[in-house]
Each structure stands twice: as C-alpha cells, then as structure tokens.
C-alpha cells in the first residue's frame, strides 16, 4: 500500500453528516482485501443517513480480541473559504513540510490507515488474543456508532484503543458534555410584526453579518464565536429594537464562524425578544459559568471550556438555540436538570437532547502499563492526558470496557476546524507503535 496515495484518496471522500461514511468504508474495504485481510461490513441508518461499520481482521476471529477503533465520518467542513491550506477545498489532501491537511486528517481517517498497515504487517496466528480494526461513525451523535458496535459484536473485548490526536500520548480521562436545546418564543405582537415585515415590498429592516473563526467547542482558544460578536452588538442596540431573525453556526459542537442578524429599530414596545434573549444568555452565564467555575477550581482546570452556543435558527414562532455544555467529574444529568430550573420561564422551552458523563481509566490499569512500555521503546512521552473532547473511549469506559484514546496529530488546535492537519512523522511512528501494541497486548 502506498501510504501517501491512500491518505490522499481517503481525504478526498466526503463523509460529512449529510453523506455518511459509506463511501469511505467501501474504499477501505478494497484496501483491506488488497492487503490480504478479511473484512465484514454492517449497515445501519442514523437520522435518515446510511452509516456503516467495518471489521477488518488478519485471519479468523478469535474468542477475545484487541480492538483498534477509528471513526471514518467527519463533521461538516463549514465555509470552504477558510480552508486556506488546501486551496479552499477541504477534500484536497495537501502536504506542506511535515503536515498533511484535509478534512478528517486528524480525527480518524489517517490514523485508520496507519492501523490498517500495522495490522497487515503483524503475525497474530499463534497469539491467544486476536485483533480487529473497526471503522465507525457517530462519535458526536450520542455515540451512535459505538452503540451499534456493541449490539453487533460477539467476541470478548480484551481492550479498545480509540483514535484521538494526542501527540502520541495516552488519553485516559475525558470530560462529559450535555447538549441542550433552547427555544425562546416570540410574543403575539412580535409574530404580527414579523409577518408584516415579510409581506411589505419596502421595509426598514437591517441585516448585519458577523464573522468569527470556527473550531471545536472543546478548544475555544483556537476560535472566535460569531454568535458572541452578535450578542455584544445586540447589547448596544436601542431597547425598542425588534429582532426579526438570527441565524448562526452549523453544530452545537463547533464554534460558529458566521452569524446573521435581521432587525428593525423603532417597532417593538415592551418585553422585546432582544431583552428576553439577553436576559436568557445572562442567566446561562450565571448558572453554568458559576457552577462550572467551582469544579474548575477544584480540579485546577484553568482552561476548562464551559459551553458553546453553536447553532441558532429562527422559525415563525421562536428563536431556537442549541449548545454544548462541558461537564467535569461528578456532574450528573439530574444535577444539570436542577441547574436548568434557574433558567426556566413561561416563554422559554428547554430540553436535554444528549448527555455524556465524564469518565476515567485508572492509571494503574494493565492496559495503560503495557501502553507505557511500548512508548518507552520508541522514546515517546508517557504522561497521561485529560481530554475535554467527547470520545468513544469514554462511552466504552462507562460501559466497563477497558478503553483509552491515542493517536498521531497535535493534541489541540489541529482537528475539528478549517485547515485540519496531521503530522507525517507521527503517522509514520504510529504504524510502528501499533505493531508493537498488537504484539504485546495480543499475547
């Protein structure tokens, strides 16, 4: 297998949410067969989109297996204009110095290829524990791929190593998160004014566009929220401003790079959507920032990301918001529900659409011990990391399955944002590390 050619091909295949990972799975299936490996594909549907799992083995399945796990879907690429390193094309693999750019380069696709090459070059015929490489989907969507995997996997799981850009360091602890949907209802007067505005040939409405920089919500220091810029602007508007429409972001997991505001000054009289929205956002700040800051101080988390309002849309009757709120250890779903009571109001609807608890693999676990021994051989860093991102590894940990995250690529600032990249020297080293991991953990 020509590794660079395979990288270029896999990055060229769109596996964003509206497409699914099926085309990527079909490609890696061909690669696996060309390398003399066996492959099994299972197909399902998530939110009307076909998704696939692929199980790749060298030889027959054994009763107990070490699982190498990579997600082969991606988030939406966002605005192509921000993909400067790939000539404004997120699917054009581009190599510059020691970096390879492209959507999915850091979040699983290239790590999968490194594991595939390592598996093809490893002889496990005489080992008691087998190995299986799994290509999956749906980490951000309530672990849908991991759930589907556990419902279809028949072997005993010896352990799972999940792809995560970590500078080839072990990640054994993960923050939790909750996705909250929020709906602020327009008053009858505002609904009438909005209908009038839509029907008039000549209107006095104004439209303003705000620009930010997108990145994953877990690393806000690498981005700039366009919605926050919009909020700051609204605060300075006259009290009689009528908010006609707000559109912002593409996902609660992503810092929005663009926000669009349509307004009319002088129409509204009292209890305006502007006032209610600002009061609502202030309550969110007071409730979540105050609560999270206590946990952040307890765990000495100076850069812990509290939340991100990543998706805002306007309907005929309301403004809908969706945000990711990150959780430290010990915060339960019931506790979040208690916090939401402080935000509730007659004209506000709140619901939790997804909850993911924090998790941790004990530092003295044998799997971590073996991983450290392997990293010692290659002179890699043995320190353990705590990731603020959601990971399938955290889901498996909660299910009682030995699981950690590991992989090539910068631990922060390289993934889930335009100009996503991986590091070629780390990809090369990871192939050797995965081969040694399989030899050591499949004994």
| Lowest-pLDDT choice from 53-67, 86-100, 374-388 | 374-388
In this predicted structure, the answer to whether residue 302 has a pLDDT above a threshold of 60 is no
Task: Name the token pair of 440.
Answer: 């050591």
Confidence of residue 30 (pLDDT cuts 50, 70, 90): very high
Tell me the domain boundaries of the chain. Answer: 3-175+358-441, 176-356
Cα–chain-centroid distance for residue 259?
A: 21
In this predicted structure, the answer to whether residue 303 has a pLDDT above a threshold of 60 is no
276 near 189, Cβ under 8 Å?
Answer: no
pLDDT at position 305 is 64
In this predicted structure, the answer to whether residue 266 has a pLDDT above a threshold of 80 is no
Q: How much is the mean pLDDT over the chain?
A: 89
Residue 35 Rama label (left phi>0; alpha psi -120 to 50; beta):
alpha
In this predicted structure, the answer to whether residue 242 has a pLDDT above a threshold of 70 is yes
pLDDT at position 294 is 64
Confidence of residue 73 (pLDDT cuts 50, 70, 90): very high
In this predicted structure, the answer to whether residue 401 has a pLDDT above a threshold of 70 is yes
Task: Name the token pair of 176.
Answer: 């939790």
| Lowest-pLDDT choice from 83-97, 116-130, 197-211 | 197-211
| Lowest-pLDDT choice from 222-226, 239-243, 433-437 | 239-243
Confidence of residue 123 (pLDDT cuts 50, 70, 90): confident
pLDDT at position 301 is 56
* Domain range 3-175+358-441, its CATH number among 3.40.630.30, 3.30.413.10, 3.40.630.10, 3.50.50.60: 3.40.630.10
Which whole number is the average pLDDT over 383-387?
78
CB atoms within 10 A of CB 441: 19
Confidence of residue 279 (pLDDT cuts 50, 70, 90): very high
185 near 348, Cβ under 8 Å?
Answer: yes
- Of 375 and 379, the one with more pLDDT: 375
């Amino acid at each position: 297998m020509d590794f660079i050619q395979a990288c270029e091909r896999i990055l060229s295949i769109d596996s964003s949410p509206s497409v699914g990972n099926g085309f990527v799975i079909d490609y890696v299936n061909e690669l696996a067969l060309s390398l003399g490996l066996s492959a099994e594909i299972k197909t399902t549907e998530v939110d009307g989109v076909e998704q696939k799992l692929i199980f790749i083995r060298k030889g027959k399945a054994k009763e107990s297996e070490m699982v190498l796990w990579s997600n082969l879907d991606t988030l939406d690429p966002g605005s192509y204009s921000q993909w400067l390193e790939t000539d404004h094309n997120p699917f054009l693999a581009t190599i510059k110095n020691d970096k390879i750019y492209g959507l999915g380069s850091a979040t699983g696709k290239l790590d999968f290829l490194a594991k595939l090459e390592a598996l093809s070059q490893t002889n496990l015929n005489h080992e008691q524990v087998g190995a299986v490489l799994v290509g999956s989907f749906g980490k951000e969507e309530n672990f849908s791929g991991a759930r589907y995997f556990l419902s279809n996997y028949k072997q005993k799981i010896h352990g799972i190593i999940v792809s995560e850009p970590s500078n080839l360091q072990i990640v054994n602890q993960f923050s939790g998160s909750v996705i909250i949907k929020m709906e602020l209802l327009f008053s009858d007067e505002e609904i009438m004014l909005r209908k009038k505005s839509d029907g008039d040939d000549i209107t006095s409405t104004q439209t303003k566009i705000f620009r930010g920089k997108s990145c994953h919500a877990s690393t806000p220091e690498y981005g700039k929220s366009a919605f926050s810029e919009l909020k700051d602007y609204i605060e300075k508007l006259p009290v009689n401003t009528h908010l006609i429409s707000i559109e912002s972001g593409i996902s609660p997991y992503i810092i929005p790079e663009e926000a669009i505001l349509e307004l009319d000054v002088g129409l509204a009289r009292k209890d305006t959507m502007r006032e209610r929205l600002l009061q609502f956002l202030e309550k969110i700040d007071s409730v979540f920032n105050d609560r999270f800051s206590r946990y952040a101080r307890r765990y000495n988390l100076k850069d812990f990301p509290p939340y991100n309002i990543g998706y805002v849309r306007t309907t005929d009757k309301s403004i809908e918001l969706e945000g990711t709120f990150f959780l430290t250890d010990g915060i339960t779903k019931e506790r979040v529900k208690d916090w939401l009571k402080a935000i509730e109001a007659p004209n506000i609807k709140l619901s939790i659409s997804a909850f993911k608890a924090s998790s941790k693999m004990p530092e003295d676990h044998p799997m971590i011990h073996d991983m450290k021994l392997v990293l010692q051989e290659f002179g890699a860093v043995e320190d353990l990391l705590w990731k603020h991102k959601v990971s399938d590894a955290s889901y498996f940990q909660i299910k009682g399955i030995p699981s950690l995250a590991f992989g090539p690529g910068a631990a922060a600032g390289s993934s889930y944002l335009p100009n996503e990249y991986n590091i070629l020297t780390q990809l090369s080293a990871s192939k050797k590390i995965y081969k040694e991991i399989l030899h050591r953990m499949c004994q």
